[in-house]
Amino acid sequence: MPNTLLWADATADDLPLLQSLRFGNQPYELEISDWLSQDAGKFLGQNGNFIWAYFNRSGDCVGFTSLSTALWNLTGSGGCSALVDIMYIPALGIDKRFHSVGSGEIPFPDRYLGQMLNHVIQEATKRKRTRDKLGLLTHPDNGKAADIYQSKCGFEKLPLYYFVDSNPETPYFQWIRKI
């Protein structure tokens, strides 16, 4: 199965390898590189946070996923009681060299991203405890990622926007699915 990815738990020692990945030059692609260079070290220093690196059979690092938890307001109503404890994917990406590998030939679940998402969803399910939802954000210009999460992975868009500290002007879409 030449297309089957292997994965490894990333530690701080693996960050230089992940930081060498290139996701593209759009702002929403560059922010994934920024996350790896500016936030991932601190992220890995906190219990319950994970980054996985994925390798193809030639030993190339193809991409990464990450997993954490978050408190999200799922309804838009006020007050702390509206906050729900969820599993959360802060960032993921595939190196530009490996975008769309197998597109049109290999079914999505067997493609690189399909395998990576399947793995991170399994990890989220394994670690969820009482949490029954998995969330992630997309930049409003990242129509491709939004399309994938909605049409391939069962995520639904919340009727709310999320504002992140690193990009306070931008209303991110919030996506959620059951686990």
Ligand X SMILES: CC(C)(COP(=O)(O)OP(=O)(O)OC[C@H]1O[C@@H](n2cnc3c(N)ncnc32)[C@H](O)[C@@H]1OP(=O)(O)O)[C@@H](O)C(=O)NCCC(=O)NCCS
Residues of this chain that bind ligand X (CB under 6 A): 23-24, 28-29, 32, 92-94, 99-100, 103, 108, 111-113, 138, 142-145, 147-148, 151
Q: How far is the CB of 149 from ligand X (least distance, A)?
A: 8
Q: Which is nearer to ligand X, 14 or 31 (CB)?
A: 31
Residue with tokens 């290139």: 22
- Cβ nearer to ligand X, comparing 60 with 147: 147
Residue 149 three-state SS = helix
21, 95 Cβ separation under 8 angstroms = yes
**Alpha carbon distances (Å) from 108 to 3, 96, 129:** 12, 17, 29
**CB contact at 8 A, 41 and 52:** no
Q: Residue 145 Cβ, how far from ligand X at the closest point, in Å?
A: 4
Which residue lies nearer to ligand X by CB, 147 or 156? Answer: 147
Considering the complex, what minimum distance in angstroms separates the CB of residue 107 from ligand X? 8
Nearer to ligand X, 28 or 88 (CB): 28
